[in-house]
Amino acid sequence: MTDTPNIVFYHYSYSPYARRIQWYLLLRGLPYNECVQPATMPRPDIARLGVRHRRIPIVAIGRDVYLDTRLIMGKLELIQPSSPAVRPPLGFGLNPSDKKASAEALALERLLNVLTNDSGLFLEAARLIPGDVPAMKDPVFGKDRMDFFGGPLNPRPKKPVSAPSGASSPTASEEPTASKALERAEALAEVRHAASILETTLLADGRTWILSTEGPSIADIEAIWPFHWLASMPGAFLDGSGSEEAGLDAVQFPKLFAWIDRFNRVVRAARKDQPGLSKRIDGDEAAQEVLTAQFWDPLSNVSSYIDTKDPVARAASLVIGKHVVLWPTDTGKSHKDVGKLVRFCPDEVVIEVAASEDAPKVMLHAPRHGFRVRPVDGAEGPRL
């Protein structure tokens, strides 16, 4: 893969997940077209590709469309420099030319991915969005996010509680009620816990970047994004008690905030030094570029494949060409994609989708982790 392929980046500006991909593209100097989307559904530009998935960002490379930032970054890592302006991959796992690559560094990348993506940290961070942010006052945005999260953002699952014998208490299926201020403080405590992990371990020795690299690596992107997102919102670190003293700041976490400042300087410099790196296009132009392109992904240019020893493939009787439904298991679950199964591997699933029967087909790629695949006749949830 020596030629830099055409990249179309569907996003909206204040998505914290989209920032992960935008940073990656900037830091590597990969040219791309961006198709800016509304923050709320519907998104007809994406529907033109035959894709129902509602989470942002979505990236198309050629006629392959990718969901989930973890898979997207992994695919972008496969693009090798085709000119001096394009820098080498940022990760340790897919960069065979990097002499420093080690099992420990790759493991650290992946563990940081788990810390910020699989631990519930984002949901806690989302509870810290200040109430005076304009979007939080918009009923359309509020309704859309209820669909995204599957219900109100603040309530947590009820947990059984017990009380001393003879004392009045909630039933075993309930928990004591909490004020909004207390729920906010609890969310802030979780974010502080994650911040402390970085402050007292990886950043404790004063290193510039997580893996002691010359510049930010994928490990930095994996670790920094929720803290960077909150730090960009004035008031996000207040605990809700009415005090103006932040519960998380540069005084308490000096190394964390110095790292965020360094990262910001590098990103600003990359943006300034590469003014023509991105081009904004509309939905018509984006669809034209994607739907007339060649398939780019190695998995799209070889024969179909299914791991017949995979327990899900066996239990669901999955076969190549069978119509399946694909959806994320955490957020955005109400928007499911349906298509023909093309590949089913331990780490990735690929289905063929189209906006209509006579429309060009695209290959839709999703990670196995965090997504569910079922035969259409066995799908759960609303009727498709």
345 found inside a domain: yes
Is 262 within a domain? yes
Tell me, yes or no, whether 229 lies in a domain: yes
Domain assignment present for residue 271? The answer is: no
Of 266, 294, 309, the residue that ends a domain is 266
Residues 194 and 226 in one domain: yes
- Residues 121 and 251 occupy one common structural domain: yes
Q: What is the pLDDT of residue 93?
A: 61
Is residue 320 within 8 Å of 307, Cβ to Cβ?
no
The residue range of the domain holding 253 is: 103-160+172-266
Summarize the confidence of residues 136-144 as an average pLDDT.
Answer: 92
Asked if residue 92 is part of any domain, the answer here is no
Q: Indicate whether 149 belongs to any domain.
A: yes
pLDDT tens digits for range 210-220? 999 999 999 99
Q: Count the domains in the chain.
A: 2
Instruction: Say if residue 135 is in the same domain as residue 194.
Output: yes
| Other C-beta atoms lying within 10 Å of the C-beta of residue 196 | 14
Whichever domain contains 205, its CATH number is 1.20.1050
Are 243 and 314 part of one and the same domain? no
My answer on whether 285 and 244 are in the same domain is no
187 shares its domain with 261? yes
Residue 290 pLDDT greater than 50, yes or no: yes
Across 22-36, 97-111, 300-314, the highest mean pLDDT is recorded for 22-36
Q: What does the pLDDT read at residue 381?
A: 38
Torsion of the alpha carbons at 136, 138, 142 and 143, rounded to the nearest 10: 180
Choose the final residue of a domain: 241, 266, 291: 266
Q: Are residues 178 and 240 in the same domain?
A: yes
d(CA 23, CA 349): 26
Of 266, 291, 323, which residue constitutes the final position of a domain? Answer: 266
Whether 166 is in a domain gets the answer no
Instruction: Identify the weakest region by mean pLDDT among 132-136, 234-238, 333-337.
Output: 132-136
Same domain, 142 and 237: yes
- Is residue 361 domain-resident? yes
Q: What is the DSSP letter of 299?
A: G
Mean pLDDT over 316-340 rounds to: 96
Mark out the alpha helices in the chain (DSSP H runs). Answer: 16-28, 44-47, 69-76, 103-117, 121-126, 139-149, 180-197, 218-231, 254-273, 283-291, 311-315
User: Helix, strand, or coil here: 279?
Assistant: strand
Q: Write down the residue that tokens 């998995």 correspond to.
A: 299
* 246 and 365 fall within a common domain: no
pLDDT for 22: 98
Q: What is the pLDDT of residues 158-200, one digit of tens each?
A: 444 455 555 555 555 566 777 889 999 999 999 999 999 999 9
Is there a single domain that holds both residue 140 and residue 220?
yes
194 and 53 assigned to the same domain: no
With tokens 């035959």, the residue in question is: 50
Question: Does residue 112 sit in the same domain as residue 241?
Answer: yes
CATH number of the domain that residue 350 is part of? 3.40.30.110
pLDDT score for 33: 99
- Do 61 and 78 touch, CB atoms closer than 8 A? no
